[in-house]
């Protein structure tokens, strides 16, 4: 009988923690922060000295990044777009006309809110 009470207590605790986890998953702020982190990680795979990266003005998969180049000189903030998991466009690393068209299509609506 005592063991039954312990098992019920454990199941109740497990159910509570599972519900709390589901609540966190559904929280828009948590999901938004997760998307921002994932986008930053994707950008870091496309730049040298990824540990030196600094981000600003990020809205979803679009934003600006500054980093050190191979000569350890800081590159000023440049716009970036994460189009897919392994497809990132960084201003001045992409043909300018193509970058501008992609930026207008993917980012302008988010940035103008």
Which of 8-12, 56-60, 106-110 is modeled with the greatest confidence? 56-60
pTM: 0.70
| Domain assignments of the chain as residue spans, ordered by start | 2-111
Dig out the tokens for 43 from the structure: 């950008």
Dig out the tokens for 73 from the structure: 């000189």
Find the range with the poorest average confidence among 22-26, 56-60, 74-78.
22-26
CA quadruple 41, 71, 76, 106: dihedral sign: negative
Q: What is the DSSP letter of 104?
A: H
What pLDDT, on the 0 to 100 scale, is given for residue 8? Answer: 52
DSSP letters for 64-96: EEEEE-TTSPEEEEEEEEEEETTEEEEBTTB-H
What pLDDT, on the 0 to 100 scale, is given for residue 28? Answer: 76
């Amino acid at each position: 009988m005592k063991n039954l009470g312990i098992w019920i207590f454990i199941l109740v605790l497990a159910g509570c923690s599972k519900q709390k986890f589901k609540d966190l998953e559904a929280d828009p702020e948590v999901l938004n922060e997760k998307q921002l982190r994932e986008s930053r990680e994707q950008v870091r795979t496309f730049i040298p000295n990824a540990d030196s990266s600094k981000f600003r003005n990020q809205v979803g998969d679009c934003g600006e990044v500054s980093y050190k180049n191979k000569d350890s000189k800081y590159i000023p903030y440049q716009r970036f777009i994460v189009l897919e998991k392994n497809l990132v466009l960084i201003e001045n690393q992409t043909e300018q006309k193509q970058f501008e068209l992609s930026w207008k299509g993917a980012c302008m609506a988010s940035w103008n809110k």
